Amino acid sequence: MSKVAIITGAGSGLGQSTALRLAQDGVNIAVVDINEEGGNETVSKVKELGADALFIKADVSKAEEVKNYVDKTVEHFGSIDYFFNNAGISGSGKYFLETDIKEIEQIVGINMLGALYGLRYVAEVMVKNGGGSIVNTASSAGVIGQDTVVTYSATKHGIVGMTKSLVAEYAKDGLRVNAVAPGPTETPMVKAYFDANLEMKKNAEAGIPQKRLGTADEVAELVTFLLISKAQYINGDVIRIDGGFTNTK
């Protein structure tokens, strides 16, 4: 029987790349995104690779919509084996004291609460079924401090905390939970951020020992390894994929 993965933020970027990578291994995908066009595009691409896919529109900052995507996945596929808890936004790139309160609330709602809601409802299904594998998307800003991303950084440090603490509670029940911490990566979200902060892109590339941004496909390979590999003893870890960026800080 084919395995089943839920991927949030699957309409573009890391989510879409990971959906396509998992589909190559025959994993069926519940594609979750607020963007219908992007989500349906991912579904079509997954099906072209021979796996099944279902698009579920959701605003992950709303608990009832998170529960709905979990319920619909179970209803359609019968189970949840893997979860890439990935949906997130970066914000405007303004310094913290210039950031509007509504932006702070939006970033926390999507990045922090959305991730927690996803873990709450997905882990409940997994533990009931004897276990499963989860990868959360943290960030280089979740392991070091960086300017212009105070709120984003707070949520990504939170991702690290929830990853480790969930393992402390539920590893005994068959749950594996890890996180990836990408550095600056060529995704639509990062492109939009750098378009608004061109000087920061130059600084970012200069500060990466490999002198380039990462790619979504490179992150997807790591996520796939953590989700489906035989390395079952990797649990509660936060793996950096940033070209050496945070190791020089």
Catalytic residue check, 121: no
DSSP letters, the chain, are: ---EEEEETTTSHHHHHHHHHHHHTT-EEEEEES-HHHHHHHHHHHHHTT--EEEEE--TTSHHHHHHHHHHHHHHHS---EEEE----------GGGS-HHHHHHHIIIIIIHHHHHHHHHHHHHHHTT-EEEEEE--GGGTS--TT-HHHHHHHHHHHHHHHHHHHHHGGGTEEEEEEEE-SEESHHHHHHHHH-HHHHHHHHHHSTTSS-EEHHHHHHHHHHHHHSS-TT--S-EEEESTTTGGG-
Catalytic residue of the set 82, 152, 170, 193: 152
**What does residue 214 show for φ and ψ, rounded to 5 degrees?**
-75, 175
| CB count in 10 Å sphere of residue 238 | 16
Q: Which two tokens stand for residue 143?
A: 């392991």
| Catalytic positions | 152
